[in-house]
Structure 1
Amino acid sequence: MSNHDGLDLFFSQPQNQMPTAWEPVGGDRTRWRLTRPVVGPEPEIDAPYPLLATIGTDDTKGTWLLNLEGLHVAIGGDPTMAQDLTRHITAGTLLNPWSQTVRVDCLGIAHELHPVDPARVSIHDPDDDLQDVRNHLELTADRAEHYEVDAATGRVHGTGDDAWPARLVIAGTDTEHTRRIADMISADPSRVSAAIVMTPPDHDPAGLPSLRLQLTPGGRVRVGDIGLDLVAVGLTADEATGIGMLCAAAADHSDTPVPSHDVDDPQDVRHYIDRSGALLQEHRATQEQEPPQAPETAVHHGGSTLVRIHDAAHRDTSSVLQAPVQDYLAGAATTESDLHQIAPAVTQQTRDSIAHADPTLDDDLEAWNNPDSRRARLRLLGPVKAQTFGVPQSHTKAFLTEILAYLALHPDGVSSDQLAEAVGTSRKKARDYVSTIRAWLGTDPVTGQLHLPHADDVRRHDGVKVYRLSGVLVDADLFKRLHARGVSCGPEGLQDLMAAMRLVTGQPFDQLRPQGWGWLFTGTERHDQYLVVGIGTVAHLVTVHSLQTMNLEQARWAAQVARKADPYAETPNLDLAAIAIAEGRPRDSANHLRAHVRDRTDDDGPPPDLSARTQEILDRHPHWLTGNDAAAS
């Protein structure tokens, strides 16, 4: 049981000795309490009780967990509540950190949870003979007898050369095969490292269960004959399905295209880019328009070596990356597909259109970088922070900053109803908050007008009165505009891309107001992820260019900024390995790749398979992982 007093363990038999952190409660030594957390490094042992499952809470809010290992548990009473508790036990076993080695076998119930971890969940037909489970029981019991230990002791002490995994059978059906499993567990409970939980449809469990859980229509669970009467935990079939879908989505690492802004006006720069700032496909040069890679002449511009194409038919089409593709592939952690995506060829017409659609970019960037400018600013590319010059708001700034960000990320404006729904308040309060923000932002020194005009003065294209910011500088907006102009301007665009990277100070939308910002993470528009994609794209482009021109300090800076913005991304780690190779540090490159790419895992499981892109890069540069020079290999 876990409650405000600590963690209590209840034993069926008295325990004469426990680790020093545990203290007996009462005189019979069947209840022991841990009142303070155990500090220090985690021991290198398996969890002793992997089948520990939550079953309910008492009336003092204490949470009760039951060690299922070695038990034949019969769940009866109200059929709906019994099935809900059974699903909850199944889900907990799949998700609890101490249960990650448990394999679960489901018959007739809880199949909705298979997507949570398909490698650990087996869905059986009702008449399956469960031979694999029987093999587990026999093998584990034989090992325990051989080593003269029970399964829990074997786990804690690492007895033998193999692990002591557990098995959980969840049965919504009563067959001769499930009864046989129950009998095998009951015959040797401490050694088989398994449990069976039965919720048969007639709710009259066969055999002699080790423990009965009786569910009431009111949602309470009575635990055997030990006097426990708890509020039962449970999951409906729909809830279990939702958990399965969520876990499946989390395990799906395939890329989803960044959506466009869906803006038809060519006088708006958003017409040309997606929500990360990358050029839309229709505004990239076609294959016929792309410049050839020869003949060419090397020229120097701003300390960088550029390449000029002499073919007159393609002079109006260019890319930021001008060297032959093979030159970039030889030294950078990139692919040909990457190069076409991050540095597309762009026609002069598109270049001019983007410039005409964003005539104030240079002035806005200068104002952002000018500490004396009194234009309101909002930082989203790192810890979220607002700087305003209106009426100070010292006690509600975090909440107002969230609303300001919502307005900034909806540049076409939002109605009072939209704002109220987004922040979870009434329409009246939303209007009051807007008034406060309007005073907080003050006026735009460029126009002399309010940074947040009154809704009566602003109408959206559909005629609805809206709140729409005016003249507020937002780093995310500047980043996307610089990204767009940078990739459209050929080699000269590198300066814009560098300026965009200098706006990034950390992970986008970091240090948010606790319990706030639900609209950012629950909606269909994931602005935080769009910006992560944009930062990764620009950083990789700068790194690839810098490696090719041997500006290694600049390459490392770009890769480190990308890594700060997205600590779990492979691309910046691959880039850093390529930089180490260019600096003559092959051993550092190999160590970095092993730690952060090849052997990295985000949980207690084995490292996941490498992506096709990463595998292609490492196949092209096998010496990066060996720590040897390319020439030597």
Structure 2
Amino acid sequence: MNLLHSALRLASAESPPPNLNGVVSTPDGIVLLGLRGKPLPAAFDMTQDGDWILPSSATTAPTARNSYPAVASIGRLEDGSTVFTDLEADSVLHLVGNRYRAAELLRNIALELGTSVWAEDLELIVVGLDPDLTPLGHHKVETFDDLRPALQRFTDGLDLSVSELDTGQDGAPARRAAGDPSDALVVTVLVVHGVDLYDERLLKDVCERLLARGRTSAVVLTSSTATSLPGPRLSVDEDGILADVEWAGGHVRAEQMPQDLAVSLLDVLATAQAPDEPVPPAAEEHPWAQQMTIDGAWDPELDEPEPAAEPLPSPARTTEQERRLVRVENDDPDLDDDLAEWGDTETPARPLIAVLGEPQVRAPGGPPPIRAAWQIEVVVYLAFHERGVSREKLTTDLWPDNKATSASNVRRTVAELRPWIGKHPTRPDIEFIPSLSTSGDGRYRITGHLLDWELFRRLRKRAQARAAAGHIADARADYLNALRLVRGPILSPLRNRGYAWLNNPDQHHDTLIPGFVIDTAHELVDLSLAEDDIEKARWAAEVGRLVDPDSTHDSPFLDLMRISHAEGDTGAMRQYAELLLAERDFEVGEDLPPESFEVFNRLFPNGLGRAVDDR
């Protein structure tokens, strides 16, 4: 079939190499195809039908720009391989047959071209396709409800492109490969869903014009049940099979993008493209919370004081990072004592509240005699509200089903906690959970306690300051002590039908803290690998996995890949890479977010076919 004269078969389990002799190039190693009649790059094989096949083992140096930005996948073979076609080669393609399957293939092509790194020199003009593709960016896509204005926009661009291309001897692919920055080389794809008789009358002339010229940096791509428009057709049956395409005797199953899946994908893209919001400063009023963000990261630019006229307490510390470390240590002089107190197995002198795992509370009064799980929840709730909560808010949060029928019921619940939580060891007149009459502002709160999440953040802050000052051994010790506080998934398991208040906008601790712990584990992995301490690096990465039982974060897998690479275990590195892709339901590393793909590609520059061999 002539449509597939430039199709390329790629083994989906392998990542293709960078560009071949300038035929196609992309920075991240997506290599696709060339034209029939052009010199055949040595890495390609050609079938008797003129189809180009790129062996997954082929390698070559990358060039600067993609010569063929209008390459799109149209289907898959039974072995999982992907079939691509170059839309610009024929300039016209009509998807026909089952209208739902044809529309889903059209939608898949549009979204692929709107997001693929090889399609940077391409714009979409979309008519009648749901959902709205605006999240792809106005620089990439224009959407229209009616074909007439869209066609006018398309033909205006076509006229300019033809005018400029006719003035030169080289075609568009060669000029792109040579780095020509002209806008005439940006491929414009007019995507029209559900073509009817009215649309056919409008599109007939432009289709004939494109077919007469061949490659012109412009493409018309339509879907319908059937059409009389001139140009190649690709028929999709109700089972999603490309009815008139075979490869080596096998059927090609059309790529499909249902509307609901497209909506979800566009939502993700819109979120990903939103500007990053900086992690806000810690809200606690303790000195140790200064120059700290809510995740425990040290930010010396927060509340950085003017240089002191008087010398610092440690004159030997003369560098800026040493002086900053002095401040961090002075802001939290009790950190080591608090850490020792946390590890003491004796009955504590004050409440010790643990959330880095299953919720637990140790208190001077011993365990509560009744309803322990419920009372632990109330204590944890108060610990996460350092400034206290009103009776009304406490009632709404802890009794969302309105079972607290009276203020006396709330008072009785809090009163039951006091014998367990206890009083100040040297000030017996001070209760750790004061009554409303003594709290001063009519708010319930817990005071004088030690929370493992706060201790974790304090240790991370000091670890970062110590690492910046070059105190690597001390920094690693702080990181180790912080991560040893983690006992399992955060706040899990929870009391049955409890902890509904974690859904409050400011209380998503069960979903936020895991990411902060994983970031901390990653920092220890970096320090440990720098010291060739594989054992500690792996332990830190496994702590990251421990707090993320649903494997929603890439970092632990990527760290374990790096650790396996550092010890020369390519088999384990591949296993973690395959596990990461399987968890994401991805086929190749290019589908990962950019920061994850950077690590993946560094370790597997040729895809999973071959790992990097330098260490």
Normalised by the size of structure 1, how large is the TM-score?
0.51
The residue that corresponds to 1:441 in the other structure is 421
446, 449, 455: which is aligned to 1:478?
Answer: 455
* Residue of structure 2 equivalent to 1:562: 544
Change (3 A) 1:106 1:588: same
Task: Name the residue aligned to 1:488.
Answer: 465
Which residue is 2:575 aligned to?
A: 591
User: Does residue 346 of structure 2 align to residue 383 of structure 1?
Assistant: no
Q: Deviations over 1:82-114 (max 9, x none)?
A: xxxxxxxxxxxxxxxxxxxxxxx9969x96899
Q: CA 1:285–1:523 in 2, change beyond 3 Å: closer, same or farther? A: closer
Question: In the TM superposition, what is the alpha-carbon distance from 1:500 to its structure 2 partner?
Answer: 0.6
Tell me how far 1:413 sits from its aligned partner: 2.1
| 1:609 equivalenced with 2:611 (yes/no) | no
Aligned to 1:577: 561
Tell me how far 1:499 sits from its aligned partner: 0.6
The one-letter code matched in structure 2 to 1:575 is D
Q: Quote the residue 2:29 is aligned against.
A: none
Aligned counterparts of 2:417 and 2:274: Cα–Cα separation in 1: 39
2:599 and 2:291 mapped to 1: Cα distance? Answer: 31
Residue in 2 aligned with 1:270?
289
Deviation readout 1:501-539 (Å, 9 max, x if unpaired): 100122222212344333323314533444234322321
Q: Deviations over 1:398-447 (max 9, x none)?
A: 33322222211122222223322333355724433222222332335465
Aligned to 2:251: 161
The one of 390, 394, 398 aligned to 2:373: 398
Change beyond 3 A, Cα 1:615–1:434: same
Structure 1 residues 473 and 395: CA distance shift in structure 2, 3 A: same
Confirm or deny that 1:280 pairs with 2:299.
Answer: yes
Corresponding letter in the other structure for 2:460: H
- The answer to whether the Cα contact below 8 Å between 1:284 and 1:347 also exists between their aligned partners in 2 is no
- Cα distance between partner residues in 1 of 2:531 and 2:269: 43
SS of structure 2 residue aligned to 1:346: helix
User: 1:254, CA displacement in angstroms?
Assistant: 7.3
Equivalents in 2 of 1:619, 1:167: separation in Å? 27
Map of 1:451 onto structure 2? 432
Q: Which residue of the partner structure matches residue 194 of structure 2? A: 130
Aligned to 1:547: 529
- What secondary structure is seen at the aligned counterpart in 2 of 1:161? strand
Match of 1:355? 329
Decide whether aligned partners of structure 1 residues 430 and 259 sit closer, same or farther in structure 2, where only a CA change above 3 A counts: farther
> What letter corresponds to residue 559 of structure 2 in structure 1?
D
Residue aligned with 1:406, SS: helix
8 A Cα contact 1:623 1:629, kept in partner: no
Deviations 1:226-273 (A, max 9, x none): xxxxxxxxxxxxxxx9x999767776797543211245x6x6211221
Distance 1:134 1:413 in 2: 61
> Could you tell me how far apart the structure 2 residues matched to 1:480 and 1:526 are?
17
Distance 1:141 1:245 in 2: 26
Residue 523 of structure 1 is matched in structure 2 by 505
Give the letter aligned to residue 518 of structure 1: A
**1:130-161 CA-partner distances (Å, limit 9, x unpaired):** 127753578999665xxxxx649999xxx962
8 Å CA contact 2:283–2:294 kept in 1: the answer is: no
Counterpart residue type for residue 610 of structure 1? L
C-alpha contact 1:383 1:512 (8 A) present in aligned 2: yes
Deviation (angstroms), 1:469: 1.5
Distance 1:245 1:456 in 2: 53
Query: Residues of 2 paired with 1:572 and 1:129: CA distance?
Result: 43
Instruction: Say whether the 8 Å CA contact 2:347–2:364 is kept in structure 1.
Output: no
**2:388 alignment counterpart:** 413
CA distance in 2, matches of 1:502, 1:485: 16
Q: C-alpha distance in 2, partners of 1:484/1:250? A: 29
Between the two proteins, the alignment pairs up a number of residues equal to 397
Counterpart of 1:438 in structure 2: which amino acid? R
Query: How far, CA to CA, are the matches of 1:414 and 1:516 in structure 2?
Result: 18
Q: Which runs of 5+ in 1 are unaligned?
A: 1-43, 46-69, 73-104, 117-121, 145-149, 171-240, 289-311, 318-344
**1:123 to 1:414, Cα distance in 2 relative to 1, 3 A:** same
Runs of 5+ consecutive residues of structure 2 not aligned to the other structure: 1-77, 80-97, 101-125, 137-141, 148-191, 196-220, 244-248, 308-313
The residue type paired with residue 360 of structure 1 is D
- Given residue 516 of structure 1, which amino acid in structure 2 is its aligned partner? G
Q: CA deviation at 1:383?
A: 2.2
Task: Please give the alpha-carbon distance, in whole angstroms, between the structure 2 residues aligned to 1:396 and 1:246.
Answer: 43
**Equivalent in the alignment of 2:281:** 260
2:14 aligned partner: none
What percent identity do the matched residue pairs reach?
A: 25
Matched, 1:467 2:487: no
Measured in 1, the distance between the counterparts of 2:146 and 2:414 equals: 60
Q: Which amino acid aligns with 2:382?
A: L
Q: Output the aligned Cα RMSD.
A: 4.9
Deviations 1:580-616 (A, max 9, x none): 12222133223322432xx345358877633333344
* TM superposition shift of 1:379: 1.8
Q: CA 1:314/1:544 → structure 2, altered by over 3 Å: closer, same or farther?
A: farther
